[in-house]
Each structure stands twice: as structure tokens, then as C-alpha cells.
């Protein structure tokens, strides 16, 4: 059953296929937002590149739906905006020095992934684009079947982790703040804040792309958010999509 909160527009479900799927349905039914969709359980949660995303009990599954006039390529920068917001959420409960961001938008605590971000969009014609920014955050527990190092906020806290609704309030406030920076100051300010929390810059890494793997040293963000990778021959390769491992 869905419930609508009064103060901040939040649509809450006990159980749903995925909050991003609900955002798409609402957008296609002409819901413009801004609106947060939250669920206690997802049974078809998704991550980047078609991966499944497990939402364990006590964790946060939320999607922010809104409309933008930005062009699609520029609108995709919202994944960095969301990463900063999730980092602020994590830093509200664990030591800030443990919180980092791995390209393109993996929030880490102590070098382990603690959240996933999935951005989807669609055209509204002359009205612009709808954007669904999905944020899955491990508050109480990390998944047990992950193929990469994962953690939860609770693993780094002496007290109990925040309940999902309390975490959502912090996340939503941070999203509003960073979205305003993005819209007023442009991506350069977002890139600077992201770089200040970046994990692995200046270190060797391998980028797994769709058809190849590329090794180099991560130098930082390009002006559009692509990762600049310095290869062994001294050239720079722009990585626009893929998974990076240090």
C-alpha cells in the first residue's frame, strides 16, 4: 500500500518491484515531481548495467523523481550530484574520513561499497526530461551475495543504524542542496566537491568496459564527468562508462 507524506512529498510502499520502476510509471502518467518514492522491500531492485540490487530489512531504497530542462548529456551529471548526497548521508552517521566516492558514483565507507545509484530518464517533449535517481543505501546490513567488498553504516557505528525514513530526510536535504549547486554553478562545482572525496585518484586501476579492459592511473574527472585514465604509453583515455577497480 502506498502512503503520501504531507511535509515533503514522499510516496511510501511496504513492498514494490522497484522504486525506479514506480518512478517511471508515474513519470509516464505525467507526474512531474519533485517526489521521493521509498519502499521497505523491493523484489526487483536494480543497479547499474542491469545488475540486481538487494534491499535488506532496515536498508534504504528510495528514488527521487523530478523534471529538468537540461539536455540528456548534461542531465546525466545528476549521478555525481546523487553520489555527493549519499556521501553526506553516510558522513552524518560514520566518521567523515571513512567516506569516499569511487568513479562513477559508488559511495564507499572504509573502501567498501555501501550504496548504489541508478539514474534513469525519459523525454517529456518540450517540457524537458524526467529523471529518476535511485539510491539504495546499506544502513543496517550489507548483502551477502555480492561479488565485491561491501559494508553497511551499522558496521561502522557504535549505536543502532538510522531507520530508513530518518535517513531519507538527510538524503533529501542533501540532494536539494547539491542539486541547487549544480543548477546555479554548473558541473564544475559538483566535480570539485566530488574530487575532494574521490577514492583512488593517482593510483593504478583497471577499467572493465563492454568489450575490453584498460589499465592506467586514474587522474580525475573530465569536464563532463568522464574519468581521465593515464595509460602506460603516456596517452589519456576517457572512460565514460564501465567499472573501475583499484
Q: Are 225 and 238 in contact (CB under 8 A)?
A: no
Domain with CATH 2.30.30.100 in the chain: 204-245
* Mean pLDDT within 92-118: 96
> In this structure, what are the phi and psi dihedrals at residue 39, rounded to the nearest 5 degrees?
-140, 140
Asked if the model's pLDDT at residue 156 lies above 60, the reply is yes
Kindly indicate the confidence band of residue 181, based on its pLDDT and cuts at 50, 70 and 90.
very high
Q: Are 106 and 86 in contact (CB under 8 A)?
A: no
Domain with CATH 3.30.930.10 in the chain: 2-196
Average pLDDT in the chain:
91
Tell me the pLDDT tens digit for each residue of 112-152. Answer: 999 999 999 999 888 899 999 999 999 999 987 677 899 99
At 9 the pLDDT is 93
Asked if the model's pLDDT at residue 55 lies above 50, the reply is yes
At 2 the pLDDT is 55
Is 152 buried (19+), middle (13-18) or exposed (0-12) by CB count in 10 A?
A: buried
- Relative to beta strand 10-16, strand 35-42 is parallel
At 1 the pLDDT is 45
Q: Percent helix, strand, coil in the chain (nearest 5)?
A: 30, 35, 35
What is the Cα Rg of the chain in Å? 17
Asked if the model's pLDDT at residue 6 lies above 50, the reply is no
Kindly indicate the confidence band of residue 3, based on its pLDDT and cuts at 50, 70 and 90.
low
The CA distance from 242 to 212, in Å, is 10
Which range (24-38, 142-156, 191-205) has the least confidence?
142-156
The CA distance from 132 to 28, in Å, is 12
Instruction: List the one residue out of 102, 46, 97, 99 whose CA is nearest residue 79.
Output: 102
* CATH 3.30.360.10 for domain 204-245: no
At 46 the pLDDT is 57
> In this structure, what are the phi and psi dihedrals at residue 243, rounded to the nearest 5 degrees?
-115, 135
Asked if the model's pLDDT at residue 177 lies above 80, the reply is yes
% of the chain at pLDDT higher than 90? 81
Output DSSP code: residue 160. P
At 183 the pLDDT is 95
Asked if the model's pLDDT at residue 68 lies above 80, the reply is yes
| CATH tag, 2-196 | 3.30.930.10
Amino acid at each position: 500500500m502506498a502512503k503520501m507524506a504531507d511535509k515533503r512529498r514522499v510516496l511510501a510502499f511496504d513492498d514494490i518491484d522497484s522504486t525506479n520502476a514506480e518512478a517511471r510509471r508515474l513519470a509516464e502518467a505525467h507526474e512531474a515531481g519533485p517526489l521521493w518514492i521509498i519502499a521497505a522491500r523491493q523484489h526487483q531492485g536494480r543497479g547499474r548495467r542491469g545488475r540486481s540490487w538487494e534491499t535488506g530489512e532496515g536498508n534504504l531504497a528510495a528514488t527521487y523523481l523530478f523534471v529538468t530542462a537540461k539536455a540528456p548529456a548534461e542531465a546525466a551529471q545528476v549521478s555525481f550530484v546523487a553520489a555527493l548526497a549519499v556521501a553526506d548521508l553516510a558522513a552524518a552517521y560514520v566518521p567523515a574520513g571513512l567516506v569516499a566516492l569511487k568513479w562513477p558514483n559508488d559511495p564507499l565507507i572504509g573502501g567498501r561499497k555501501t550504496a548504489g545509484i541508478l539514474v534513469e530518464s525519459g523525454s517529456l517533449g518540450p517540457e524537458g526530461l524526467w529523471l529518476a535517481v535511485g539510491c539504495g543505501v546499506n544502513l543496517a546490513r550489507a548483502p551477502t551475495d555480492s561479488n565485491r567488498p561491501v559494508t553497511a553504516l551499522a558496521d561502522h557505528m557504535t549505536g543502532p543504524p538510522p531507520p530508513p525514513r530518518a535517513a531519507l530526510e538527510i538524503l533529501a536535504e542533501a540532494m536539494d542542496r547539491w542539486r541547487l549547486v549544480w543548477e546555479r554553478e554548473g558541473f564544475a562545482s559538483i566535480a570539485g566537491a566530488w574530487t575532494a572525496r574521490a577514492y583512488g585518484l593517482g593510483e593504478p586501476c583497471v577499467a572493465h568496459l563492454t568489450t575490453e579492459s584498460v589499465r592506467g592511473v586514474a587522474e580525475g574527472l573530465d569536464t563532463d564527468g568522464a574519468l581521465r585514465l593515464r595509460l602506460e604509453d603516456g596517452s589519456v583515455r576517457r572512460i565514460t562508462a564501465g567499472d573501475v577497480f583499484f
